[in-house]
Structure 1
Amino acid sequence: MKLLPSLAAGFAGAVVLTAIHETVRHLRPEDAPRMDVLGMRGLRKLLGKADLPQPDNDTLFGMTMAGDILSNGLYYSLVGSGRHALRRGALLGVAAGVGGVLLPGPLGLGEAPSNRTPQTQAMTVAWYTAGGLVAGAVAQALRKGR
């Protein structure tokens, strides 16, 4: 696995995922997944446990977006740069989407942001899958370009 192409592919998937989330939450506020809310809740919890000061909402949102792109980019970089990157991207995306629906409640972050309606659940899985597919497609394109 080549590190740079894998990271480039992973971050491409993460940027697309974040762009979808941020665009649709403005267009469909009634049922769009709010992964930003989950991220901000998680970050507030971590800062509280570390006894660090709580940032204002705008700063918290920016930190959350940066953290989302970083963590999702690293996650999607697991598609690698070898064969079957598109398939791995799809599987990673589905796994992340299902986790995004099932894990927030047990983690104490609340269920509504990703589990509010069947449409919210479907969008969560679909968008993470789209991010994985983008990562896989970019990995394949970079591999062919070598």
Structure 2
Amino acid sequence: MSKIKNLVAGLAGAIALNVLHESLKKKSPDMPRVDLLGEDALQKALHYFGADIQSKENLYQATLAGDIIGNTLYYSLIGAGNPKYLWPKVAMMGLSAGIGAVTLPEPMGLDPEPVAKNNQVKTLTIGYYLLGAVVTGLALTLMKKT
């Protein structure tokens, strides 16, 4: 698959992940808040370089943009290599991203609570990233037929 098609499919997966998250994040206190984790990570990275983002809205927008770009690049890797292994890569990369989102914040010095405060939130967080990978796989499959 071409790199452009991989990026387009990765963007589809990243958008699906973010639409799901944004749609559900305030429905219940037991929903993942990937946005809060991202804001914490961005502020800490900026603070390391002696900067920060004061405006809550600007922080949210910068985090969302970074999330879409990062997930697009990550999910685009699903299309690399032998297409015979597309669906195993979808499962592996989706689960890896979700499990990483749940398990890596604390060792990275971030607050894990927004994505790992209980088993429901952990499971949904993993499911969100798996959904993004599945959408990427579907997009790649559809583009292969054209």
Shared fold (TM-score greater than 0.5)?
Answer: yes
Q: Which residue of 2 aligns with 1:42?
A: 41
Where do 1:1-146 residues align within 5 Å?
1-28=1-28, 30-80=29-79, 82-145=83-146
Structure 2, gaps ≥5 residues long: none
| Deviation by residue 1:72-118 (Cα, 9 ceiling, x = unmatched) | 01000011163332331221110000001100111111111111111
Question: Once structures 1 and 2 are overlaid, which stretch shifts more, 49-58 or 130-139?
Answer: 49-58
Runs of 4 or more off by more than 6 Å in structure 1?
none
> Cα RMSD between the aligned structures?
1.2
Contact map agreement 1:83 1:140 (CA 8 A) in 2: no
Aligned residues: 144
Question: Once structures 1 and 2 are overlaid, which stretch shifts more, 119-128 or 73-82?
Answer: 73-82
Work out the CA distance in 1 between the residues paired with 2:55 and 2:10: 30
Contact map agreement 2:43 2:52 (CA 8 A) in 1: no
- Percent identity between matched residues is 35
Q: Secondary structure at the match of 2:132?
A: helix
Amino acid at match of 1:102: T
